Structure 1
Amino acid sequence: MNDLPVWQLVSAQMKYILVTGGVISGIGKGIIASSIGTILKSSGLRVTAIKIDPYINIDAGTFSPYEHGEVFVLADGGEVDLDLGNYERFLDINLFQDNNITTGKIYQHVINKERQGDYLGKTVQVVPHITDAIQDWVVKQAKVPVDADGDEPQVCVIELGGTIGDIEGMPFVEAFRQFQFRVTRENFCNIHVSLVPQQPGSTGEQKTKPTQNSVRELRGLGLSPDLVVCRSVTQLEQCVREKISMFCHVGPEQVLCVHDVSSLYRVPLMLEEQGVVRYFKHRLHLPIEESPRRLLVRWKEMADRYDRLLKKCSIALVGKYIKLSDSYASVIKALEHAALSINHKLDLKCIDSEDLETTTERDDPVKYHEAWQKLCSVDGILVPGGFGVRGSEGKIMAISWARKMKKPYLGICLGMQLAVVEFARSELGWTDANSTEFDANTKHPVVIDMPEHNPGKMGGTMRLGKRRTVFKTKDSILRKLYNNKDSIEERHRHRYEVKVDVVPHLEKKGFRFVGHDVEGNRMEIVELEDHPYFVGVQFHPEFTSRPMHPSPPYLGLLLATAGKMTAYLQRGCRLSPRYGPPSLPAAPISPSLPLVPTLPCQQLKIFDALVAFKPEAGLA
């Protein structure tokens, strides 16, 4: 017999917080889940996160960027939904591919067990076999350590993708209906995120009916929300809060408002101010103080600093998927982190690479001249990763402009490969130099497909996940930005690489490959001599960027565009006291601290603003 009191036994068990959404998809469940995790972690708890996507795809690796936005890559090579990027950035943890559950994974798992005879000839059904598999997966994955200390998590935040009532999400809803009884009420709670639209016109009345219907649908499926988080353009009126409380069967203090604010960093502060720590402490018997600790103080300082930024730094993002900003979610956030660290506001100008090409000048001269006007007006240029020949020549033109005009440049993955192509054409005289991805018959293939790449199979066939890069020289600017480390570990996602045979020809002209893989066969980092900042990396450093720890390559780009690189290097790669977060007291944040006056969404409708982070809209 265990002699511990019952409340101590309950508090020692894993706690599960399920986040569901209603009314519309893309309502911001990922940011709410991340913010809840941040608050609990700042209260001294170890937190992990799971994202459930009710599509039949095994993972996000084969998605079009226009379909679901960016494919986020984890350290173990998992290609997952971009919401896992939010979890990692907010909580500063490293998740695994099994932290992303899809319908395809669950059904594949159950079918494999059936083929092996694990069900002893029984009829395999959605209930109980699929629902049991979902529950078992969650219980197993929730125990996997995600912090550097290797300790088992205490709280698991689970986001159920899609909208309550979607037919594809029904098995997951049923699984959690059963799950709440399996783990008992003291260890499970449900947060339901809903939209409170505002009626256009002078009255601007906030409408509660969509939220009422969404909660009614959820309760009809066997789940009752413990907290109702209302997304709105402006702050929720008290009478609206009371109406939602009455018709959704929750107390007024259980109705939370998350309206549009000046920046994403204010969302955890807003939720903490409304008493979520106190609620979770008593509802889940959590062994925590009611006031979050130092971490949330740093979040408040960061949010306040963001609102005070006056100086701007303009960066051109030259890509081919710019119609949906979520396609470059991690890139944009990494740029934001770097700009904030040097007390600058990011002025991002997205340019469709096709608009820079000479064919556009003939077909649509207005787009052509507008694109080049944007490119010529910025302080720095970034070419991100991508696939396919479309728009590649426009990216090469942008790279050529950055190199010749001494504009700070950062090339990520394809951006590095095309920098090699551009230099080979311009400086080596190989006018037909190209990647075999774009021209298989080129006489000068400077970028080739990797030997292990399987062109006949899609999904998981790239070089994926965390790999080590070794610096070849000590005078590398990127090595200095990485605090003079001999090697680094960053995440990869590519099928093509620089051909080793062309490296000596390029280096003779000052195009230096300062980093390679452990075996020395793959070129990982390139730097151009006699240039303020011209860097290309084969990996994707944006995946490990954090709000308080910006990625070194991105930080270098922003430092160079702001004219602060020399001073930064002279200080030993330390930010001036004028920049970055100052030393902070260990005192907890006061619940009475007022938030900066909120800003309504000016440039985007709420339906668009809920998806992608925009400084104007706040929560996305």
Structure 2
Amino acid sequence: MKYILVTGGVISGIGKGIIASSVGTILKSCGLHVTAIKIDPYINIDAGTFSPYEHGEVFVLDDGGEVDLDLGNYERFLDIRLTRDNNLTTGKIYQSVINKERRGDYLGKTVQVVPHITDAIQEWVMRQARISVDDDGVEPQVCVIELGGTVGDIESMPFIEAFRQFQFKVKRENFCNIHDPCNCIIIFSTTCIMCRCSTPLETAVKEKISMFCHVEPTQVICVQDVSSVYRVPLLLEDQGVVSYFCQRLNLPVGIRPRKMLAKWKEMADRSDRLLEHVSIALVGKYTKLADSYTSVIKALEHSALAINHKLEVKYIDSADLEPTTLQDEPVKYHEAWQKLCSSQGVLVPGGFGVRGTEGKILAINWARKQNKPFLGVCLGMQLAVCEFARNVLGWEDANSTEFNPESEHPVVIDMPEHNPGQMGGTMRLGKRQTIFRSIPSVLTFLESLNLCLQFVGQDVEGERMEVIELEDHCYFVGVQYHPEFTSRPIKPSPPYFGLLLAAAGKLQSYLNKGCRLSPR
């Protein structure tokens, strides 16, 4: 097993996740099996209770793990399936060690950060690195580990010490460190330096970095600004990163195929020459921070690229669409509605809490009446049902019991696993099976009235409605699950793909051609 540790200094959020994903991508393109681990030094057990404003999106894995959004990058770039244990936090490590101490596993010893915490970190990494993440079940050959935060943080020190020991435990030929940027790099014996910059570095600058950081000039890699993230793996490959790792880690890579990363290059080139635009209104609660909807935006980008359109996302705070905003801040109200009305499609993603729900319902109502393509995800689907019940069935107080427990028409109810008294681990998460119904049914009162709203997908028990669609509409779909978590650059998520096709006016043509796109 080969280990590549990606660390960073100065500040968090300088691109370690994209660099780690890109390194894994170019190694996987060489025929190697690659896995990834993200280490977050915070004391939280997982990312499930984080505020979207502070930490961005919570990415959900197939096993229901609520993890850092960087694991979404790993899955999208490497096309792999990770588990909750691929995200290691200080909270998980301390919980594991304390549980062992309570069981008496340490036989009365004084439990300390060194060696007990550091040993637990190393054991966790070595165990998780050998778990298959590909469909073929083959054990990985390379594990890319991203240490979140910054090297100088006090929270990171146990992990730094653990990997200082780890490099000697697994031997020099099996461990390598990538650091971004060029400071605090003397902790590990060997380092590949990734320099983030706006323009390519001159040779003299690389030589100076090489001299003062005790590395060869070939180990100084320039990661300048590029037109899209799809170009980062190509940028690293062009600078000989594969050759360096093959030599440094003695990787079992033969002669590289001439078309290495051909699909990535084709995507990057196509992304740069897009001429047509498609605009989607994202009506949400956390629109002030784009990272709150990272996977949603990526799913839209994948679908837009597949139909050769440049994506324009119009972020709309759902509360700005409500009548109260018209009274308090009329300019903001009219700007929000102008954005919505000028969009070619509407997306209402998931969310929590009552704030802004009425604005989302107004946006859904507008999309339904104006025959605009609409996709509702999770809460978006639930509110689409509420909107239909209010404005078509005439149930004016129709609502979810989450927002109005006293409603006479509770069209959305809580499920047994939801516990309002506990914050973490109370939702039904993970990969599930959805059964699509091909024959019209009278299971629900809505369908029995023949008012066009169909529940076309449900869970295997038939208790939870998972997919809705509106007949006689260009595209009106709601899904209870989160398809954005399974979207890939080369394989877009179908619900998002359908939304973009409809927004661009290509859905009917796509269906008429047997679900084939026109030649590019």
TM tier relative to shorter chain = over 0.9
Contact 1:412 1:536 in 2 (8 A): yes
Contact 1:42 1:293 in 2 (8 A): no
1:138 to 125, 149, 162: 125
- Matched with 2:473 is 531
How far apart are 1:452 and its partner, in Å? 2.3
Gaps of 5+ in 2: none
> C-alpha distance in 2, partners of 1:416/1:455?
21
Corresponding letter in the other structure for 2:323: T
> C-alpha distance in 1, partners of 2:459/2:367?
27
The within-5 A match list for 1:25-424 is 25-194=12-181, 211=182, 214=183, 217-219=184-186, 222-289=187-254, 291=256, 294=259, 296-424=261-389
1:508 to 443, 450, 469: 450
How far apart are 1:475 and its partner, in Å? 9.0
TM-score between both structures, scaled by the size of structure 2: 0.98
How far apart are 1:506 and its partner, in Å? 7.3
1:58 to 1:501, Cα distance in 2 relative to 1, 3 A: farther
How far apart are 1:575 and its partner, in Å? 2.0
- Matched with 1:541 is 483
1:444 to 1:22, Cα distance in 2 relative to 1, 3 A: same
> C-alpha distance in 2, partners of 1:294/1:301?
11
Of the structure 1 ranges 119-128 and 501-510, higher mean CA displacement relative to structure 2 is found in 501-510
RMSD: 1.5
Q: Secondary structure at the match of 2:139?
A: coil
Contact 1:232 1:258 in 2 (8 A): yes
Q: Secondary structure at the match of 1:466?
A: coil
- Matched with 2:508 is 566
Q: Secondary structure at the match of 1:277?
A: helix
Contact 2:185 2:213 in 1 (8 A): no
> C-alpha distance in 2, partners of 1:292/1:159?
28
> Quick check: 1:458 aligned with 2:423?
yes
Contact 2:349 2:380 in 1 (8 A): yes
> C-alpha distance in 1, partners of 2:399/2:193?
54
How far apart are 1:446 and its partner, in Å? 0.7
- Matched with 1:446 is 411
How far apart are 1:354 and its partner, in Å? 0.8
- Matched with 1:5 is none
Q: Secondary structure at the match of 1:463?
A: coil
Contact 2:446 2:453 in 1 (8 A): no
1:406 to 1:556, Cα distance in 2 relative to 1, 3 A: same
Q: Secondary structure at the match of 1:388?
A: coil
> C-alpha distance in 1, partners of 2:55/2:258?
35
> C-alpha distance in 2, partners of 1:501/1:371?
38
1:72 to 1:295, Cα distance in 2 relative to 1, 3 A: farther
> C-alpha distance in 2, partners of 1:272/1:102?
31
> C-alpha distance in 2, partners of 1:512/1:157?
45
The within-5 A match list for 1:477-488 is none
> C-alpha distance in 2, partners of 1:35/1:506?
52
> C-alpha distance in 1, partners of 2:68/2:233?
21
Taking only the aligned residue pairs, the percentage that are identical comes to 75
Number of aligned residue pairs: give it: 520
Contact 2:185 2:191 in 1 (8 A): no
Corresponding letter in the other structure for 2:327: R
How far apart are 1:504 and its partner, in Å? 3.7
1:503 to 1:307, Cα distance in 2 relative to 1, 3 A: farther
Listed one character per residue, the Cα deviations across residues 545-603 of structure 1 (whole Å, up to 9, x for unaligned) are 0000000000000100111111111222122222xxxxxxxxxxxxxxxxxxxxxxxxx
> C-alpha distance in 1, partners of 2:484/2:248?
37
Corresponding letter in the other structure for 1:397: L
> C-alpha distance in 1, partners of 2:417/2:500?
36
Contact 1:15 1:188 in 2 (8 A): yes
> C-alpha distance in 1, partners of 2:411/2:190?
57
How far apart are 1:347 and its partner, in Å? 1.0
1:345 to 1:245, Cα distance in 2 relative to 1, 3 A: same
TM-score between both structures, scaled by the size of structure 1: 0.82
Contact 1:70 1:81 in 2 (8 A): yes
Gaps of 5+ in 1: 1-13, 195-210, 477-499, 579-620
